[in-house]
Amino acid sequence: MGRTFRDITIQLRILAEYIHFCKTRVIIQQTVDTTLDILLNLKDYLFSQHFIDELHLDHLELCHELLRVFDIISERNQFLPLNDILLTIFVQKDNTFIARYAITALTSKEFENKMLSPKYLQEIRLQIIKHYCVCVGMIKKQFKQGNLTIRDLIQKMEFLVSPKEGKPIFQQLLTDPKIEFPLKETMLTFLHKLIWNTK
């Protein structure tokens, strides 16, 4: 790729801020029309490289900003065919990379040591949990309440509370004295969504 990871990260951050603060009804559709192919190609390239193995700061920041852009689009999108596409990409397909990235960011001391500031670490962790809250929202948007598919898809996110994976969310809630309220609140919101929709 001609640009550096840092360049792309900055561009994604600018895009995320722009669509986050621009509340017009057409901004999401315009963003999808002009950038979706590029975002999907970047996702495929990034996730196929298994950059998480290297724990390089530039890669981690790029993962963070890319997920942030996709989550803003997914959360504000009202077009069901696009919701179906995003749901397929982030939930229905095998997203081992994203799961590993999430577990690493939530539990790894090495990851923690790579962060330049505790504030940015909290921001990354918050975005990861927000991502899975957004995924629950996409599932509920696509399927009517009571559809068994809802439960099947939401169970794909249970690794976040699985003893096998070290119970990443519970580990943060119960053992991290530095956890900030926005992250704690979002984790509890996700747990509520997870339990309520898998009954």
More confident residue, 148 or 26: 26
What is the pTM assigned to this prediction? Answer: 0.88
What is the b/e burial string over 67-97, where b = at least 16 CB atoms within 10 angstroms of the residue's CB?
A: bbbbbbbbbbbeeeebbebbbebbbeeebeb
Position 197 pLDDT exceeds 80: no
Average pLDDT (83-95) is 87
Residue 53 pLDDT: 58
Q: Where do the domains of the chain lie? A: 5-196
Residue 9 pLDDT: 92
Average pLDDT (73-102) is 88
- CA dihedral defined by 100, 95, 190, 8, rounded to 10 degrees? 80
Position 104 pLDDT exceeds 80: yes
Task: Count Cβ atoms within 10 A of the Cβ of residue 177 and give its class: 0-12 exposed, 13-18 middle, 19 or more buried.
Answer: exposed
Token code pair at residue 173: 């809630």
CA separation for the pair 26, 68 (Å, rounded): 19
